[in-house]
Amino acid sequence: MRKARAKLDDDIARIRTLSRLRFAADLVPDAFDDYLSINKKLRYSIERLPATDDSMMARITSVRQRDQMFIDVLNRILRRLPQRDAWALRRVA
């Protein structure tokens, strides 16, 4: 059971790292393209990791957090739209 949990934790950490690197490579390809490779099945592999004190990655992380907050706000607004439209339609009818 512990081995399975440890493998799951490793897999989750690897997926999160891959996600961060893909975001970075999309945002600044010149700086981060060589951190990843893609095989014939279009699967990504991590080739290398940025240094723990990499200032560019710190800025990318900050941008990513703001991007996620923006998407969260948009999702909340979009979820409310049908409720507002239904309320407006009831008032008109």
pTM: 0.76
Average pLDDT (29-33) is 93
Helices (H) and strands (E) in the chain, counts: 3, 2
- Phi, psi angle pair for 44, to nearest 5°: -85, 145
At 14, list the tokens.
Answer: 């690897």
Report the alpha-carbon distance of residue 62 to residue 56 in Å, rounded.
10
Domain, as residue range, for 65: 2-92
Instruction: Note the pLDDT of residue 62.
Output: 97
How many domains does the chain contain in total?
A: 1
Q: How does pLDDT run across 32-79, given as a tens digit for each residue? A: 999 999 999 999 999 999 999 999 999 999 999 999 999 999 888 878
Report the alpha-carbon distance of residue 27 to residue 35 in Å, rounded.
13
Confidence category of residue 2, pLDDT binned at 50, 70, 90:
confident
